[in-house]
Amino acid sequence: MLFLIHCTQVADGAAIREAHYDAHRAYLKASPVDIKLAGPMVADDGEARIGSVFIVGVPDRAAAEAFAAGDPFAQNGLFERVLITRFLDITLGRPAFGPAKD
**What does the pLDDT look like over 2-13, one tens digit per residue?**
999 999 999 999
Average pLDDT over residues 41-62: 96
Q: CA triplet 79, 32, 58: central angle to 5 degrees?
A: 75
CB 28 within 8 A of CB 38: yes
pLDDT band at 36 (very low <50, low <70, confident <90, very high): very high
Residue 102 has pLDDT above 60, yes or no: no
pTM of the predicted model as reported, rounded to 2 decimal places = 0.88
